[in-house]
Structure 1
Amino acid sequence: MTEQKKRPDPAKVAFLRSLPADIKASITGEEAEQFMFSTEIPESLYEKIKDFLIETDE
């Protein structure tokens, strides 16, 4: 019985680690998990990190 776990996006992990301590402290585990493993950012997390995001035309 092998359980295949998805790996988190390394760029997203690095981004979360680069945030100021007060911002990181406000992010829930669920928000962080959704951000690292999904293509969409939870709205609650977006509000916390939007000032640190760089918009692209992807």
Structure 2
Amino acid sequence: MPHRPLRRRVRDIASGVEGELMAVVNENVACAGVEYWMEPAYIRAVSGREFTTSVANVQPA
């Protein structure tokens, strides 16, 4: 999904970790036949590892 700080340096306010925002996706996490959609943000930390967080936790660094 398009997101303003895509490919820019961001901070995950939940963990305090900074990195580059790689992607924001609209993901169906259905369970027991009930659809539930969420938008995780994928951030690549300086170490090179990517982690996910809620898109609401992303702010420019």
TM-score by length of 2: 0.23
After TM superposition, the score normalised by the length of structure 1 is 0.23
Structure with a larger share of its residues in strand: 2
The structure with the greater share of residues assigned to helix is: 1
